[in-house]
Amino acid sequence: MNPVELIIQKRNGKELQKEDIYYLIESYTNGSMPDYQMSAFLMASFIKGLSKDETAWLTSAMLESGKTLDLSMFPGPKIGKHSTGGIGDKTTLILTPIAMAAGIKVPQITGRGLGHTGGTLDKLDSIPGFDGRPSLEKYKKLIDYPGGFLAGQTDEVAPADRLMYSLRDVTGTVESIPLITASIMSKKIAEGTDGMVFDVKTGSGAFMKSYDDSKALAESLMYTAKAAGKKSLAMITEMSQPIGYFSGNWLEVYESILMLNGEYTEDIAEITLALAGAMLYLGGVADTVEAGYEQSMYILESGDAFDKFIEIIKVQGGDVDLIRFPEKYPVAPEIDFLYAPFDGFLKSVNGYELGMCLIDLGAGRYRKEDVIDYTAGLILTIKIGDPVKKGQKIGEVRTAKREVIDPVKKRIMQALEFSLYAQPKLKLVKEILY
Ligand code: URA
C-alpha cells in the first residue's frame, strides 16, 4: 500500500476500505508516514467527507493505536463527558468533582486547545505541580481513589488521535463531523466507561456554527457510541459567547474555583449543572436529567464538590494552596480594559474572533510547539441581552505581550455587536438527545 495513492483516492472522493484506513493510521502512528502526508489525508477527508463506515473504521483504528482502560473491576456507574469545544468552557473542571461526589467514577480524558477553542488539559497544566499525564496504571489507581481523574491522553491512550489532533489544529482541518467524531470517540471509548454525555456546542464560537450541523454531529457521536455498546446522551448548548466571565487557562481554573465555592454566573451554572445532571441520570443516580440537576446543585452548595476537587488536585500532585487561595497566582504583566461604545444592549458576539484573540494574547497556540501563557486571557462581564451604558467597563484583556493589546482590543470590540434596542437573552441548553 502507498499513502499517496490513498490520499489521491480520498481527494477524488472514493470510499476507502477498512484496511486502507488502518494502514494510514498505523503508518502515521509508528512514524513511517510524515506529517505532510497525514495533513493531506486530513484535508482530503475534510473536503470530501467520510462515510459512516469510514468514520467507524477511523475511530476503531485510532482507538486500537493505543490501549483501553479496563474498569470492569470497579463496581458502580462509570460515566464520562466530552465537549466538542468552546470558549471559556470550564464545565469539565466543575462537573467532574460534582459527579464523583455523587458516587460516579469519572475517568475524564481531556485535550489541548484546538483551533480557536480552549482545552481542559491546558487549563489543568496551569496548576503548578499538577500531573495531567499519568500512566494507564496510575489512571486505574485514581479511579479507585479519589474516584476519577482529570488528565490528558498519555502515549498509551489513542496516540493516533493525540498526533492527529495537534496536526488538525494547525492545518485548518478541525471543523469536520467525521474527523471530530473519530477524535472524540477514540478517546471516549478508551476511557472504559459504561456511558458518556456529549456537550455539543452550537453558534459562532463552536466548530459547528449552524444548529443543523451541531445536531448532525450529536447524532454521529451517539451513533458511534451505540455501535461501541455505550449508553449516551447529547446536549446541544449555546456557544456564541464565552461561558462565564473568564476565558484563558488559569483564569478559567480561577472561575471554576469560584463556582465550586458558590460564586457563579447564571450561564456557567445552567450549563454545568445540566451536564452534571445528565451524568447522574446516565449513571442511574438520578431518575431524570432534571432531578440530576437538582442533586448536582445540592452537591455544589454543600461544598462536597469543592472538597472533591481539592482531592483530585492533591492526589495528582497539584498545588492545593493555590486552589484554596487562588488570588496568590501570578497576574499577567499587561492589563487593559474594554468599554461600552454607547447606551444600548449587547446584541451578538463573534465567538470565533474572541477565540482567535485569545490565541493572540498568548492563551492558545498557532503552532504545535507554541508555549502557552497561562495568565493570559479575556474577562468579558456582559452577556447577550445585557444593557450597557456608554463608557461602562465591560471587560479586560490580560497578556505578557504589550504589542498585541491595541489590535486585540480593536478586534474584540468589532466582535461585539451592540444595539440601541433591547435584545433577547439566549437559551443555553437548546435540546437534549436521548
Ligand atoms: N474535541 C476533540 O476531542 N476532538 C475534536 O476533533 C474536536 C473537539
| Minimum-distance ligand 1 atom for the alpha carbon of 174 | 6
Residue 187 a catalytic site member: yes
Residue 410 a catalytic site member: no
Prediction pTM value: 0.93
DSSP strand pairing (231-238 vs 334-339): unpaired
Residues of the chain with pLDDT under 50: none
DSSP conformational letter for 114:
B
Residue 82 a catalytic site member: yes
Residue minimizing CA distance to atom 6 of ligand 1: 180
114 C-beta closer than 6 A to ligand 1 = yes
Q: Is 323 helix (H, G, I), strand (E, B) or coil?
A: helix
- Rounded distance, CA 153 to CA 368, Å? 16
- Rounded distance, CA 105 to CA 75, Å? 9
84 C-beta closer than 6 A to ligand 1 = yes
Cβ count near 410 (within 10 Å): 11
262-273 pLDDT per residue, tens? 999 999 999 999
81 CA distance to ligand 1 centroid (A)?
A: 12
Answer whether 189's CB lies under 8 Å from 63's CB. yes
Q: What is the second-level CATH architecture of the domain 333-419?
A: Alpha-Beta Complex (3.90)
Helical axes 177-190 vs 159-169, angle rounded to 10° = 150
Task: Check 82, 116, 201, 215 and give the catalytic one.
Answer: 82
Answer whether 265's CB lies under 8 Å from 228's CB. no
184 C-beta closer than 6 A to ligand 1 = yes
Residue minimizing CA distance to atom 5 of ligand 1: 180
180 CA distance to ligand 1 centroid (A)?
A: 5
Alpha helices by DSSP H, listed for 283-344, are 289-302, 304-315, 320-324
Task: For 14-89, list the strands marked E by DSSP.
Answer: 79-83
Residue 390 a catalytic site member: no
Among 87, 271, 268, 137, smallest CA distance to 197 is for: 271
CATH 3.90.1170.30 placement within the chain:
333-419
Contacts of 308 (CB under 8 A, 6+ apart): 97, 98, 100, 101, 146, 147
- Rounded distance, CA 114 to CA 16, Å? 27
Distances from the Cα of 23 to the Cα of 28, 46, 264, 266, angstroms: 8, 19, 48, 48
Task: Check 78, 105, 162, 187 and give the catalytic one.
Answer: 187
Residue 411 a catalytic site member: no
396 CA distance to ligand 1 centroid (A)?
A: 29
85 C-beta closer than 6 A to ligand 1 = yes
- Rounded distance, CA 181 to CA 354, Å? 25
Residue minimizing CA distance to atom 3 of ligand 1: 184
Q: Is 345 helix (H, G, I), strand (E, B) or coil?
A: strand
CATH 1.20.970.10 placement within the chain:
3-49
Contacts of 137 (CB under 8 A, 6+ apart): none
Give the model's pLDDT for residue 232.
97
| Minimum-distance ligand 1 atom for the alpha carbon of 187 | 3
CATH no., domain 3-49: 1.20.970.10
Pocket test for ligand 1, best of 59, 87, 165, 217 (most atoms within 8 A of CB): 165
CATH 3.40.1030.10 placement within the chain:
79-324
| Minimum-distance ligand 1 atom for the alpha carbon of 180 | 6
Residue minimizing CA distance to atom 2 of ligand 1: 184
191 CA to centre of own chain? 16
Give the model's pLDDT for residue 32.
96
CATH no., domain 79-324: 3.40.1030.10
Burial readout 37-60 (b: 16 or more C-beta within 10 A, e: otherwise): bbbbbbbbbbeebbeeebbbbbbb
341 CA distance to ligand 1 centroid (A)?
A: 36
183 C-beta closer than 6 A to ligand 1 = yes
- Rounded distance, CA 144 to CA 146, Å? 6
